[in-house]
Each structure stands twice: as C-alpha cells, then as structure tokens.
Structure 1
C-alpha cells in the first residue's frame, strides 16, 4: 500500500488495490477449548440464559443495556425471539463446554461487508462467566472469525461512556480508544455519551498472539489463576 495524491497534489489516502467486499458473518458455530458460540435458538438456549441471568440478583448487568431486566422466563423468551434471531444484530449464545449450558450472549452488528467493518455488541455475560477465561476465549473466537476467516479491516466496540467495566474490558482485550460521541443516544429515558474503540486488521496479529498465549493452559495454575495478564502478553 502506498500514499497517493490527486492531480492537484492533495492526499487521497492509502490505495487498497484488490479490495473486494467481504462475506457477511455466517451462522456456523465457533468452537474453542472452553466455550462454543452458537447462533441463538430459543428452544436450545432460552431457559439456560434466563437462569444464568437470574444469578445477577441485583440486575446490575442490565444497567447499560437498552432493555431488561425481565421478570419471567416467558417475558424474556418473547424479547429474545424478537431481538436475538435477526441477521443484524447477529446474536450468538455462549455455551460453557463443561456444562453444555448457555451462559451469555454477544452479537455482531452494524455489519458492513463493503467496507470490511463490523461491531461487537449487546454483550451480556452472566455471573457464571464473568471474569473467567471462558469469557476471554469467547471474545477471541469472535475476533478470529472477523479477521482470519472473513478478512474484515476494522472491528468496533462501543459502550456507554459511564460504563467503566466495559471500558476496562475493551482496553484489556486490545481495543484502542478513539473518542466519545457526546449525546449520541437516548435509552431508558436517559442520555448516553458513547465511547468508541476499535481493532484494525494490521493490529490483529499481535493481539491474536497474545490471546493464544494467554489462553494456553500453561498460563494458569492448578487453581485456575492466570500467571500473566493478557495485556502484559501484548507487550
């Protein structure tokens, strides 16, 4: 790739010779050592997810989502059928391979094959997976599909600017903070300033290597505690 100028000498950016639109993310499963991601299916995943979310007794996990919490499994099932089953967002249930149960969801959204851009969002990890290697592996699998399998150029993460845990997670996973869009949304009757983060395709190889090194069983002691942090493995 090389910098180009037009006939007036104005910079016109890097030429992307041979670029073609990328495929849309498929619904095929993503398989890891600790978890498996499957396209959401209410019959297979709905009851497990409702039970997993019920472990969050104070409903803290719903604070920065634009919906929920749900009082009954029937109410949740109706919501999930309307929200989790479309093509964009494309939701995946996260399955704990040890138990076979769904313990969270994450989605691809704002899918833009022409420009090779996709966002990860609607992330909802139940207490059963928060702070676990399984949660990290799920995010790695979604990134690996976007970059290695589909050849996208840009992977985005956005969150309420007040959502400190989400901002910390983005930084830990290797996303770069790009700025805050002020008064970007209204949800649940309140303002949201949105913090933007991204990973680019040129950054992915180093981030991928760090993930794979961190996820190696040798990085954990007999109690399952990490020996070296993920961000330390990047650098």
Structure 2
C-alpha cells in the first residue's frame, strides 16, 4: 500500500474538488444542504443546517479514530461548497473502504459532478491505496441512490435485512454493492466515457 486511507488528501478533477472536511466549511455546507432541503428526505442522512456543526465534529472524530476520511465536495471552477462524502468503515489491514455518507445540493444532482467525484475516490482507493474492494451501501428503497451506484459499475453483493433503524424509526434494509480490482479498469473507462459524453 503506497498510501493510507486515513491520511487527509485533496482530490481534484475538472468539475469537482474533494477537500479535507473542516469546520471552516460550516457556512457553505449549511447553504448546500438547504438547496433541496435534503434533511427532509426520510431515507437519506443529510443533516439539518442547525445540526451541521455537530455533524462535522462527528465525522472529524471518526477521522481521529482512523475509521473515516471525510471530504467537503466543492464545485469547480466556482468554488461553491455543494456537499459531503467520505471513505468510511476503513479497514487498513485489507485495505478496504466504503464510499458513503454522501449528499449533494439538489442543483448539482444528476450532473457530472458525482461521476467525477466517484472516479477520483475510486482511483485513489485502487491505484494509490491498493484496496481489495470498495463498497457502497444504501437504503433498499432509495431507488435514486441505487441507480447511481449501479451506473458506476458496482455489483450488488446482497441485502442486509433489518440492518438498522432509519432516522424516522423505521427499519432499514441495506443494499451492499462493491467494486473489486479486476473490475476497476472497465469501471474507470466507463466513468471516463460518461464524463466525456455530452448530457
């Protein structure tokens, strides 16, 4: 492993920059989560604006525990903060990571920004860190998220039934997807093609 997934790093593309999460991003993240009132989505985990400081602190505490590497998602070239994403459930011994706890302002959803962000995170995981697998998880009923994960080229490993409680108290079934190293070259070509294809 040429790097470590718990070391903060900035990943930069043409449409997006993934910068190490900081409390300095608080105001921009509050503005981003208001774009679409994302905290109202019962199946998602975007924080309310008034809870943003606590959410940033939570993610940074997990980073200190070496189980998460959180990023602030910044739109390029405008420099506007538009969301959060992470490497989470980090297994350094594998190494293996999950890409998750992701949310984006509604105005950048269904654009090339998410595609490029995932390309940057996957390239870091496979090319620099030598991961055995990169995992994605989402609510069984979150069809938008499931379609987005499947468009990346990830394969469904299975469904964890009665996996956890959602924020409204309902029981969540969790779909688990992954990409493995033998699939990465084709996935990289596919994501690159998507970014170069006019929408």
Fold shared, TM-score > 0.5 on shorter chain? yes
Matched pairs, number: 195
1:35 and 2:11 are equivalent in the alignment: no
1:131 and 2:110 are equivalent in the alignment: yes
Quickly say closer, same or farther: Cα 1:22–1:184, change in 2 above 3 A: farther
The aligned residue for residue 228 of structure 1 is none
Q: Give me the CA root mean square deviation.
A: 2.0
Contact conserved, 1:84 with 1:91, CA < 8 A, in 2?
Answer: yes
Contact conserved, 2:88 with 2:97, CA < 8 A, in 1?
Answer: yes
Q: Structure 1: how far apart are the matches of 2:55 and 2:97?
A: 24
1:111 and 2:87 are equivalent in the alignment: no
| Moved beyond 4 Å, runs of 4+ | none
- Pick aligned residue for 1:80 from 49, 56, 70: 56
Where in structure 1 are there 5+ consecutive unaligned residues? 1-19, 226-235
Quickly say closer, same or farther: Cα 1:112–1:59, change in 2 above 3 A: closer
Q: Bigger shift: 25-34 or 142-151?
A: 25-34
Contact conserved, 1:179 with 1:196, CA < 8 A, in 2?
Answer: yes
Q: Structure 2: how far apart are the matches of 1:123 and 1:22?
A: 23
1:46 and 2:46 are equivalent in the alignment: no
> Taking structure 1 as the reference length, what is the TM-score of the superposition?
0.77
Q: Structure 2: how far apart are the matches of 1:21 and 1:180?
A: 33
Quickly say closer, same or farther: Cα 1:59–1:22, change in 2 above 3 A: closer
Select the structure that is richer in helix. 2
Counterpart secondary structure, 1:114: coil
Counterpart secondary structure, 1:86: helix
Contact conserved, 2:87 with 2:99, CA < 8 A, in 1?
Answer: yes
Question: Which protein, 1 or 2, shows the higher relative CO under an 8 Å CA cutoff with sep ≥ 6?
Answer: 2
Flag the structure with larger Rg: 1
Shift of 1:33: 0.8
Where in structure 2 are there 5+ consecutive unaligned residues? none
Quickly say closer, same or farther: Cα 1:208–1:67, change in 2 above 3 A: closer
Q: Structure 2: how far apart are the matches of 1:194 and 1:111?
A: 18
Contact conserved, 2:38 with 2:46, CA < 8 A, in 1?
Answer: no
